[in-house]
């Protein structure tokens, strides 16, 4: 439940960044002097969009925080595995830190803190996906011919995707007054990162289908490839919606038609281009977080499958009688 609740929260947070609504409520942890949960719902629900999405984000985030506390309580009451308890505590620490970053971003009105807040959310989402993968049932039959060494490349892939998310968050938080060279540097870093992630995810899907580890890693690798296709499409649409068509296409009917939809293109908030543009930009950001969560879960499942295979083979060897004790044939 915690993992499922975190993804909509990332969407709402992305909407706040896209529409530049982060300072709609100037105080924290309250809302205009009210307790967070006691702020008049009619003022919030029927108020301006900025207030609606910012206060709604805080309410949703507090709900995710309560679910995380519930996870810790359940794990400590029902499970004695030390590593799982540590992971639950890590999730709690991360969600608290994320809340503090969000609050400081408001209190200090600091754009850099907004970048840190936007980079920590996907990390927490990935951690919840890891916990789901580690606690899921693992009753698939052992595939024949499995390697006994747990692969490192799925973790490297997850790390590469997270670096790309950081690059995207940096691009989304470039101040409007920045120089062209600063903006171009962020764009180039994000584009090169997108190329590396695309090649890596495609390679991971091919390896997963050729590597005998069972159905679960293959399903997750296929989901990563599908989400990647959506992400690349949204990335192209985001660029066109936010910064116009490329120079070679800015003539004739195509450019005139697009200008009527998205405007001239700017670094300003995307509400200027309408809600279609807003949701395209936000969807691109949120889909990157989904790709990271799938990659983290895939890394865990791949390790569990190889560990299961190794343990099964080790147990079978231990059960075999030795040549000395077997006696004469």
Region at 79 (left for phi over 0; alpha for psi -120 to 50; beta for the rest): beta
Q: pLDDT tens, 67-89?
A: 999 999 999 999 889 999 999 99
Q: According to the model, what pLDDT value does residue 208 have? A: 79
Helix axes 153-172, 180-210, angle to 10 degrees: 160
- Do 118 and 172 meet the contact criterion of CB atoms below 8 Å apart? yes
Mean pLDDT of the 246-266 span: 47
Mean pLDDT of the 205-214 span: 75
- Which residues pair with residue 34 across a beta bridge? 31
- The angle subtended at Cα 302 by Cα 193 and Cα 312, nearest 5°, is 160
- Do 226 and 151 meet the contact criterion of CB atoms below 8 Å apart? no
Neighbours of 244 (CB within 10 A): 18
Is 249 a residue whose pLDDT tops 50? Answer: no
Mean pLDDT of the 228-232 span: 94
Question: Which of 17-31, 139-153, 202-216, 298-312 has the least mean pLDDT?
Answer: 139-153
Question: Which of 27-41, 181-195, 267-281, 294-308 has the least mean pLDDT?
Answer: 267-281
- The angle subtended at Cα 122 by Cα 119 and Cα 126, nearest 5°, is 140
Q: pLDDT tens, 260-281?
A: 444 444 454 444 457 778 888 8
- Report how far apart, in Å, the C-alpha atoms of 14 and of each of 27, 56, 244, 289 are: 20, 13, 21, 11
Q: pLDDT tens, 26-53?
A: 899 889 999 999 999 989 988 898 899 9
Residue 323 — pLDDT band, cuts 50, 70, 90? very low
- Do 241 and 273 meet the contact criterion of CB atoms below 8 Å apart? yes
Q: Which of 128, 73, 143 is nearest to 95 (CA)?
A: 128
How far apart, in whole angstroms, are the C-alpha atoms of residue 82 and residue 77?
Answer: 12
Give how far the C-alpha of residue 262 lies from the chain's centroid of Cα atoms, to the nearest Å: 27
If you write DSSP's letter for every residue of 256-296 in order, what string do you get? HHHHHHHTT--SS-GGGG-HHHHHHHHHHHHHHHHHHHHHH
Is 231 a residue whose pLDDT tops 90? Answer: yes
117 half-sphere exposure, CB direction, 13 A CA radius: 25
| pTM for this prediction | 0.80
How far apart, in whole angstroms, are the C-alpha atoms of residue 80 and residue 72?
Answer: 12
264 half-sphere exposure, CB direction, 13 A CA radius: 2
Residue 141 — pLDDT band, cuts 50, 70, 90? low
Neighbours of 191 (CB within 10 A): 14
Mean pLDDT of the 242-248 span: 57
Is 191 a residue whose pLDDT tops 50? Answer: yes
Sequence-distant contacts of 118-123: CB under 8 A, at least 24 apart:
118/13, 118/17, 118/169, 118/172, 118/173, 119/165, 119/166, 119/169, 120/94, 121/6, 121/9, 121/10, 121/13, 121/289, 122/10, 122/162, 122/165, 122/288, 122/289, 122/292, 122/293, 123/94, 123/162
Neighbours of 142 (CB within 10 A): 15
Q: According to the model, what pLDDT value does residue 143 have? A: 52
Q: According to the model, what pLDDT value does residue 305 have? A: 65
Residue 158 — pLDDT band, cuts 50, 70, 90? very high
Tokens of 170: 């940096």
């Amino acid at each position: 439940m915690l993992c499922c609740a975190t993804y909509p929260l990332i969407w709402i947070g992305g909407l706040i960044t896209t529409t530049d609504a982060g300072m709609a409520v100037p105080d924290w942890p309250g809302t205009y002097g009210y307790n967070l949960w006691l702020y008049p719902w009619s003022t919030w629900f029927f108020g301006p969009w900025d207030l609606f999405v910012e206060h709604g984000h805080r309410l949703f985030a507090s709900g995710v925080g309560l679910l995380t506390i519930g996870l810790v309580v359940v794990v400590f009451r029902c499970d004695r595995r030390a590593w799982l308890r540590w992971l639950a505590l890590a999730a709690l620490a991360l969600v608290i830190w994320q809340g503090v970053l969000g609050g400081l971003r408001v209190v200090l009105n600091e754009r850099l803190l907004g970048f840190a807040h936007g980079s920590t959310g996907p990390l927490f989402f990935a951690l919840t996906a890891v916990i789901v993968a580690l606690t899921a049932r693992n009753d698939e039959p052992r595939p024949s011919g499995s390697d006994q060494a747990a692969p490192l490349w799925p973790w490297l892939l997850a790390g590469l995707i997270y670096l790309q998310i950081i690059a995207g968050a940096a691009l989304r938080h470039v101040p409007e007054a920045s120089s062209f060279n600063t903006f171009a540097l962020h764009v180039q870093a994000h584009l090169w990162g997108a190329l590396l992630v695309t090649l890596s995810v495609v390679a991971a899907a091919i390896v997963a289908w050729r590597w005998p580890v069972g159905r679960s890693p293959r399903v997750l690798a296929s989901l990563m490839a599908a989400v990647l296709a959506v992400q690349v499409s949204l990335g192209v649409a985001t660029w066109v919606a936010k910064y116009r068509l490329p120079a070679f296409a800015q003539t004739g009917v195509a450019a005139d038609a697009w200008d009527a939809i998205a405007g001239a293109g700017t670094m300003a908030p995307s509400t200027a281009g309408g809600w279609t543009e807003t949701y395209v930009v936000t969807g691109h950001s949120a889909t990157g977080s989904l790709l990271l969560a799938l990659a983290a879960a895939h890394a865990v499942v791949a390790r569990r499958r190889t560990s299961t295979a190794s343990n099964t083979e080790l147990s079978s060897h231990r059960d075999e009688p030795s040549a000395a004790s077997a006696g004469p044939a």
